[in-house]
Structure 1
Amino acid sequence: MALLFAAANALNISTPTAPWSVGESVTETWVSAPGDPASFYLRLYGSTETVLVAADVPTHLGQITFAVPDVPKGEWSIYAVSEDIKQVYATSGRFVID
C-alpha cells in the first residue's frame, strides 16, 4: 500500500524514549501548527502489521492516553494518518514494544 506524506504539514509526533509494554497505559504527544488537519488517526506500524490505537483524534489536544494493544514484541513506529490511511501527516522514530 502506498502512503502519501503530507509535506506541508508541521505535525510532529514524539518518539517514546523507553520501551512500551502490552497493556500499559501510555501518553503520546505531538506538536501541531496552522495548516495541520483538524484530526487524525493514530496507528502503530510494525514490520508486518498496522494497528489502530486512536480514531478521529483532535489535533489541538496535543496528547492522547491509550493502552498499548496486544501486538508482537519488536520495533514499532507511530503514524498520524488520514482515516483511509492514504495520507501520512507525521511519524515517530522507531521504538520497542516488549
Structure 2
Amino acid sequence: MWFIIGIIIGIVVTGLLWLLKRNNSKITWYEWLVGLIGLAFLLFALQNFFGSLAELMPDSANMFLLLIGLPGLVLLAVVWQLAIRRAKKD
C-alpha cells in the first residue's frame, strides 16, 4: 500500500512542478515548508488510522484522523490559498 501511495505522491509532485513551470509561478520557501508539514501530518494520520483499524480499535483510528489528519488538511488548504492569492495579485 505504501509503495502505491509513494508513486501517487511522486506523480502529483511532478505534475505540480510541471504546472508551476508552465505557468511561470513561484512558490515561496515557507509555502513549501508548510505544504510538506501538512503532507507529513496527513500521511502520518493515514498510517495510524489503518494501523489502529488493523488492531481493532476504531475509536482510536477515528480520533487520530480528527486530531492529526484535519490539521494536515488545513495546512494544505492554507498553502493552496496563499499560492492562489499571490497568482491573482501578479
TM-score, length basis structure 2: 0.25
Q: Between Structure 1 and Structure 2, which shows a larger proportion of strand residues?
A: 1
Q: Between Structure 1 and Structure 2, which shows a larger proportion of helix residues?
A: 2
TM-score, length basis structure 1: 0.24
Q: Which has the larger radius of gyration?
A: 2
